[in-house]
Structure 1
Amino acid sequence: MKPRTLRRHFRESFKNLRRNGWMTFASVSAVTVTLMLTGIFLVIMLNLNKIGTDIENDVEVRVHVKLETTEAEKDQLKAQIENLPEVEGVEYSSKEQELQNLINDMGSDYTLFEQSNPLYDVFIVKTARPQDTPDAARKIEQFSQTEKAVYGEGKVENLFSFMKTARNIGMILVAGLLFTAMFLISNTIKITIFARRKEIEIMKLVGATNWFIRWPFLLEGLWIGLLGSIIPIAAIAVGYYYAEQEASERFASHFIDFIGYIPLIVPVTLLMLVIAVFIGIWGSFISVRRFLNV
C-alpha cells in the first residue's frame, strides 16, 4: 500500500469517527462495558488460580518411620522414597525436631513430652505434581519401615477436584464474556456501517476495490477498541492497586498471597489492549463484509 493511500485511510477513519459521533460513542461504550467486566473477572480468576496453586503446592506426604527402625534402615527407606517417579524431594525430620515444632506451634505445655517423646521420625515428601500425592503416599505405605503416610486423605482429593472444576468454569466464563463482547461490539459497529451502506455502494460502483473500502472501517474498529480500553485499563490498574494492598493486609494471617501489582497489571493491560483492538477490527471486518457484494 502506498503511503499516500495509507494517509488517506487514516484521515477517512478519523473523519468518520467524528461524523458518526453518537454511533462511535455507542461502539466505544460497548467496548468499555464488556472489557471492564472481562478485565475484572480475569483479575479475580488469576488470583484465585494462584491461591489454588499455592495451596496445591503446600500439599506434602509426612512419612512416619517405625519406632524400631535403625539408622541404616532409615537411609534405605529414604532411598526407596527418592526412587519413586512421583517424588521431587525428601526431607528428614527427627522426632526431637517434630516435638520442638509442636511446642513452638501449640505452646510450652507440650514440653512435658521431652522426657518421653511419643512422636515418630518423619520424612517430608514433596511430589513433582501435587496431583501425584495420593499415589506416592499409597506406594510409600507399602515399604516395610513405614508406619503410615499422612497427606490429608480425602480432603486433598476434594481440593484437587474443586480446583480443576473451578479452573474449567473460569475458562468457560472468560470465553463466554469474550464471545459476548465480540457479539455486542460487532452488532453495534454493524449498525454504524449499515447507516453508511449507500456510501459503500457508491464506492463499489465507481471501481473501488474491497480492501480500499475496507481499510477505513478496520481503522475505525482499531480506534474504537483503543478508546474503549482506556477506562477499563485505568479503572482496573487503580482499583487493583488498592485492592491488593487491602487484601494482603487482611489475609496476611491466613497465609494467602495475592499476585503482586506489577506482575499482574502489566500482562492484564497488554491482554486487554490486544482483546480491545482485535474485537474492534474483527467487528468492523465482519460488519462491512456483507455490504461489499453489490
Structure 2
Amino acid sequence: MDLNQAYYLVHVVDKKGFSAAARTLGIPKSRISRQVKALEDTLGTRLLNRDSRRMSLTEAGEAYYRHAKVALECMAAAETAVRQDKDALEGTVTLSCSVGVAQFALGRILPRFLAENPRVILQIQASNDFSDLISDGIDLAIRGHFKLLPDSGLIHRRLTEVPWHLFASPSIAQQIGPSGSPADLDGLPGLTLGWRPGGNSWSLQGPDGANASVPFATRMRSDDMVTLKQAAAAELGVVALPVYTCAEDVAAGRLSRLLPKWNAGLPEISLLMHGRRGNPPQVDALAEFLRREMPDVMNGVGG
C-alpha cells in the first residue's frame, strides 16, 4: 500500500474534488491527479468516476476509501502517541523546603503534578534548616524570608506573601473577643516556633500601619508546627503560625484566630533554582507548576 497515494485519494474524496484537495494540501492539482491515477493502475480498477464537473466513487473506490481512511487515521494516532511519549517529562527533581511547607502546602498539590507526569520522580528534602543547593545537589528550594535573600548566584522567583496570624483554642478566643486588641494578650502564655532560645514576643501589624510588640512567657518551644497546633488546641497558649497551616483546624473548630485585624508577620515565599538555562525540563516544569499553584494554597485558597 502506497500511503501517499491513499492519502491523496482520501483528500480528494473528503474535499469533494481535485482542485479543493490541491488548495488544502498546497500542491499542484496535477500531482494529485497523477498519484490517484497511479493508484488505480496499481489496483487494476477505477476508483473514481469523474468528468469536467462531477466526481463520484465507484463501488471499488468506496471500499478502498473506507479502509484507507481508517488506516490513515490509525497511522496518525500512532505518530501522535510516539511523539507524546518522546516529549513526556522524565527524570528526578530534588526539592528542598521546610517541614511545614511540605506538610501543609506541597502535600495538597504535588500529587496532581505527579499524576500529570508519571515518569517524574520527586525527592523532597523537608527540613527547617536551609540546604545548600549546589553542595547538596538540590534542584529547587522554597524559602520563606522577611528580608532579601543574600546574593548566591541562584535565581530567585517570588511565589507569594504569606500572612501569619495568632491562633489559640476557641475558649481563649472567646475570652478576648473578635474586637480585641494586642493589650488583651497580656498574661497569656506563648507557644514558640523554633527550639532556640529567644523570640518571646509577638510583633504585630494592625490597621492603618499600627504596630505592637507583645511580650509573653513561653510555655512550649518546638520547631514542629503540628505539635504547636495541638498544644494551642489543648489551651496551653497562643501560637503565631502561617495561615495555610491552620486553615483546616479553624474550619474544624479546633483553633480560632485571635485579633482578626492584626497580623503576626507577612514574610515572602521565594523559589530558588539554578541558572535560567540548562535546567532539565522536569525541573523547569515543576518550577512553573509551583509558581502557578503555591499562591492559592499558601493563602488558604487552593489545594
TM-score by length of 1: 0.26
Structure with the largest fraction of strand: 2
TM-score by length of 2: 0.25
Structure with the largest fraction of helix: 1
Structure with the greater relative contact order (CA < 8 A, sep ≥ 6): 1 or 2?
A: 1
Larger radius of gyration: 2
